[in-house]
Amino acid sequence: MSEEAKNKSIDQASIEMLEKAAQENVRTVFDRAEKMKPCPIGGEGSCCSICAMGPCRVPLAKGKDETPEEHARRTGVCGATVETIAARNFVRKIAAGTASHSDHGRRVVETFKLMAEGKIKDFEVKDEQKLLKLALDLGVDVGDRSNNEIALDIAIICENEFGRQEGELVFIKSAPLKRQEIWRKLGVVPRGIDREVVELMHRTHMGVDQDYKSLMFQGTRAALADGWGGSMIATEIQDVMFGTPTPTLSEINLGVLKEDMVNIIIHGHEPALAEMLAVLSQDPELIKYAKSKGAKGLNLAGMCCTANEVMMRHGVPIAGNFLQQELAIITGAVDAMVVDVQCIMQGLQEVARCFHTKLITTDDRAHITGSTFMLFDELNAKESAKAIIKAGIDNYPNRGDNVRIPQIKTPLIAGFSHETINYLLGGLFRASYRPLNDNIINGRIRGVAGVVGCNNARTTHDSAHTLMIKELIKNDVLVLSTGCAAMAAGKAGLMLPEAAKEFCGPGLAEVCEAVGIPPVLHMGACIDNSRILIAATAMVKDGGLGDDISDLPAAGAAPEWMSEKAIAIGQYFVASGVYTVFGTNWPTLGSKEFTSHLFNDMEEMYGGKWAFEPDPIKAAHLMIEHIDKKRSALGIDKARERVLYDMEMRREIEAV
Ligand code: BF8
């Protein structure tokens, strides 16, 4: 194995495919990243390209302290300061991230509404209990109405959240009361999801909002419209329509591809098509069709967040995370890569051209030049998904013999929705977070960390995730994970109950063994970071750990972040009171003042703040320090056991 390949990824399956790519002269994201160094000026947020007088470059001079005069001269042609430029760039990322998650949520609601109206026959309410709970939360009359009647009212309420012009988003009320008051006091409660994104884009147009603090207020309002709006709506409605995840055993890594079967990968984010593919991959007629083409059967695997969705609900195996999308095609065994929206590299088409793989785009919002477009029509879900599968099967005879599938895959248990954790900890009749809170209070569990986010070709694939998570669980911190971070943990074998004994500190190991859970809980796709918000709120409500999310011994991280969605997520976590550490690089370092606003002022305002630490072990220790600080503020920094007093002990107390 070459040293070069080892620096690119810690994942053996990926390393094998990188070597195959090198032998066959196929260029991947790893090669392109090596060839093109990141722009240092854009990288620190010091490039402004919002008008045609620029782009203006206002970089921070390296290696010496800046005098006030030098700082004052660092402006764009219009006079925009570095603070304004860095803040504008930062909040525009929030706008794009919020728009992406929320447009996903909107599409899910549209499908749900069509289902409720009886116009879509191929989907139905799968989780009736969650439907009723949602109805209760949203004030929808239940009575003896049918599921579809209730669903229609819920769909209309959720749909209105996007276009709402005033008032407050309804899901804001899911947050702890104290948190809601903080937001109201600061004026950052979102009015409507679309409105906050549009206003943010307006404010960052040339010559509008030119005060970094003011820009961040609106940035925060948009981010909250993501976490407690678009993302939360997507998760809730998906659970109702496709089922709330429960613990499921599955497998992860490129080794889930099968040499003698038709391999279809579903890649992207929105689960409607993936759901249909998961059902149809068991269809006897399609399996027979695959056999008629010489294959032994049909094998569906996932990639990126859509993989998390169908693995959590159906146990569909995962082929890999973000940086493995091209590598899957390089196996030579992928007959169709079916994509919808978000995190789909355009480089896929170029790689697919070197093999027989058919790259199929399916969403009217996301086309890729050179690929095959086959619209997934929700109104005709089964038939359009069937056509897509058939296109993959028809491509199987073109596979040829340049096939090498790394024989590497890892079992994992996923499916830890908030409801499932509640049930696992508390049992069917008294589902609660009490045992978790108690174990945090008695010190067996030191705290809770959310480790989420992407892969990034600027850092060794999966390395930061794995090192950080191992360090956290070694120090008795329970990890909740989503997105590509969760997949890295799964590949490293950390999502099995057995991992507790091998990798955890004694306290966490004991709890995991007693409850039978892994020390790293897979909570779903990036959209499902909203599950972490709900879990944190449930911990607050259960008592004993303060009265707000910011009181919890908890922290968040995205050590290999890459996308604008990650910035939106980070900001809604910070604004929800969570200390949040990002790795790889930080996009505002060109402005010390704005960076300090994010890294310091935020804590006074929201109780949570940002931090940047590219070293994953150091970052883990920043999180642990924060957790310890919160433990001490709660007065639970000394390990305490709940003691049941017998008569003799009582008498002793009385005697004293
Ligand atoms: O939403 S973790 S690389 S796949 S952005 Fe993308 Fe990042 Fe992966 Fe999912 Ni999230």
List the strands of the sheet with 358-361, edge to edge: 372-373, 358-361, 336-339, 262-267, 298-303, 318-320, 248-252, 410-414
pLDDT tens digits for 212-241?
A: 999 999 999 999 999 999 999 999 999 999
What is the arithmetic mean of pLDDT over 617-635? 97
Between 424 and 96, the more confident residue is 96
- Report the CATH number of the 248-398 domain: 3.40.50.2030
Domain boundaries, the chain: 3-64, 82-242, 248-398, 427-634
Is residue 512 scored above 80 in pLDDT? yes
Mean pLDDT of 269-295: 96
Which band of pLDDT confidence, cut at 50, 70 and 90, is reported for residue 435? Answer: confident
* Strands 56-57 and 47-48, sheet pairing: antiparallel
Task: Identify the architecture of domain 427-634 in CATH.
Answer: 3-Layer(aba) Sandwich (3.40)
Taking only the tens place, the pLDDT of each residue in 305-345 is 999 999 999 999 999 999 999 999 999 999 999 999 999 99
Q: Which two tokens stand for residue 37?
A: 């160094």
pLDDT bucket at 6, cuts 50 / 70 / 90: confident
Using the Cα atoms of residue 527, residue 344, residue 395 and residue 27 in order, give the sign of their dihedral.
Answer: negative
* CA distances (Å), origin 122, targets 108, 126, 264, 284: 14, 12, 21, 18
- Residue 318: beta bridge partners? 252, 302
* CA 210 – ligand 1 centroid, Å: 31
pTM here is 0.95
Q: Amino acid letter at 287? A: I
The single-letter code of the amino acid at 355 is F
Q: Do the two domains 82-242 and 427-634 of this chain adopt the same fold? A: no
- What is the share, in percent, of the chain residues with pLDDT greater than 70? 96
The CATH classification number of 82-242 equals 1.20.1270.30
Confidence of residue 577 (pLDDT cuts 50, 70, 90): very high
Average pLDDT over residues 592-602: 98
- CA nearest ligand 1 atom 10, residue: 526
pLDDT digits (tens, 9 = 90+) for 478-493: 999 999 999 999 999 9
Q: Which atom of ligand 1 is nearest to the CA of 561?
A: 7
Q: Tell me which residue has its CA closest to atom 7 in ligand 1.
A: 454
Residue 643 has pLDDT above 60, yes or no: no
Return the pLDDT at 656: 43
**pLDDT tens, 20-74?**
999 999 999 999 999 999 999 999 999 999 999 999 999 998 877 889 999 999 9
Q: How confident is the model at residue 244 (pLDDT cuts 50, 70, 90)?
A: very high
Give 433 Cα–ligand 1 centroid separation in angstroms: 28
Quick: pLDDT tens for 247-263. Answer: 999 999 999 999 999 99
Q: Tell me which residues have their CB closer than 6 angstroms to ligand 1.
A: 269, 304-305, 322, 343, 453-454, 483-484, 525-526, 562-563, 565-566
Cα separation, 476 vs 576, in Å, equals 24
The confidence band for 432, taking pLDDT boundaries of 50, 70 and 90, is confident
pLDDT in tens, 128-150: 999 999 999 999 999 999 999 99
Residues 80-119: pLDDT tens digits?
999 999 999 999 999 999 999 999 999 999 999 999 999 9
Mutation test of ligand 1: which of 565, 567, 572 has the most ligand atoms closer than 8 Å to its C-beta?
565
Name beta bridge partners: 479. 449, 520
Question: Distance from the CA of 306 to the center of ligand 1, in angstroms?
Answer: 10
461 CA from centroid of ligand 1 (Å): 14
Alpha carbon of 16 to ligand 1 centroid (Å): 23
Contact 297, 311 (CB under 8 A): no
pLDDT in tens, 448-489: 999 999 999 999 999 999 999 999 999 999 999 999 999 999
Query: What is the arithmetic mean of pLDDT over 399-413?
Result: 96
**Position 640 pLDDT exceeds 80:** no
- Across-strand partners of 254? none
